[in-house]
Amino acid sequence: MDDLRALKEIKRYKNGKFEMLSDLVAREISFTINVSNKRLVSIACLPENLQELAFGFLFSEGIVLRKKEIISHKFNRNDLNINFELQIPEERIIKFLQTGEKTSGCGSTLSSAISGGSEAFPKIKLDAESILSQMHQFQLDSVLFKQTGGVHSAGLILNDKLTFSADDIGRHNAVDKVAGMALQNDVRLRDSYLICSGRISSEIVKKCIRLGIPTIVSQSAPTSEAIRLGWEYKIYIIGFTRGKRFNIYTGFEEALFI
């Protein structure tokens, strides 16, 4: 097949009998992010948008705070790794390695801890019908999911338009990929909102906090810790966005809908 799909022989039970057939599945690889030729993390992921995944991961985990801290990078597709030379305090990497928690998603890796909070929800306008329309189109565009049933999707909406999108076997990876796309194109993430297919866990909220993304919209549900963080750090969380409805879990008194 291709880099993203593999054809596997399976046996299926259906209508009281077994049958042999071929089935499409999503490919999985292990991709390593190095800093100064030392392994930082290895990520189980879909073999697509790997450089964007690495950029987004560095920013969403608070290892890199601004683009100029990345001195250089070298991507090796054959060996499935990327090496960064960074101009950052060594304490950031130490903190990531010491405080990182195992993420809850497919292809799980470390997610660094956060502390602090925010005083007020951002004053942004949200269009309820546009959110529903964007989610409907987002679901229609998820071709790889329709083919394999084995990936999550994430996207960034800017000016009511899906500007960046990506698939991955892990929810966290898909978010990092679209964040990396935006950062490489110098897009202000505070002007966007995240749209995603999977569960909104605390790690997804933490990534959006670090990236400055003010709103998360998912077709699935948030966890209790995600909601707590949303209230503490003033991130709008919208879940179960399906058909003609959605649920607002945080900031519902402050949210400005048009």
Distance CA(193)–CA(132), nearest Å, equals 13
Q: How many CB atoms lie within 10 A of CB 67?
A: 11
Helices 224-233 and 202-211: angle between axes, nearest 10 degrees: 20
* Paired strand residues for 23: 8
Q: What is the pLDDT of residues 149-206, one digit of tens each?
A: 999 999 999 999 999 999 999 999 999 999 999 999 999 999 999 999 999 999 999 9
Active site residues: 106
What domains are there in the chain, each with its CATH number?
A: 29-111 (3.10.20.10), 125-257 (3.40.140.10)
What pLDDT sits at residue 243? 93
What pLDDT sits at residue 107? 47
Residue type for position 238: I
pTM over 0.75: yes
Torsion angle, CA of 28/184/110/4, rounded to 10 degrees?
Answer: -10
Q: Are the C-beta atoms of 161 and 132 separated by less than 8 Å?
A: no
What pLDDT sits at residue 2? 75
Task: Give the dihedral sign, CA 247/253/254/258.
Answer: positive
DSSP state of 68: G
Distance CA(52)–CA(81), nearest Å, equals 12
What pLDDT sits at residue 101? 61
Q: Where on the phi/psi map is residue 174: left (φ > 0), alpha (ψ -120 to 50), or beta?
A: alpha
At 84 the three-state DSSP class reads strand
What pLDDT sits at residue 110? 55
Q: What is the pLDDT of residues 109-149, one digit of tens each?
A: 555 667 677 889 999 989 999 999 999 999 999 899 999 99
Q: What is the pLDDT of residues 44-91, one digit of tens each?
A: 999 999 999 999 999 999 999 999 999 999 999 999 999 999 999 999
Tell me how far apart the 2 most distant CA atoms of the chain are, in Å. 62
Q: Which residues contact 156 (CB under 8 A, 6 or more apart)?
A: 162, 163, 164, 165, 178, 179, 181, 182, 187, 189, 192, 193, 194, 195, 213
Q: Are the C-beta atoms of 111 and 61 separated by less than 8 Å?
A: yes
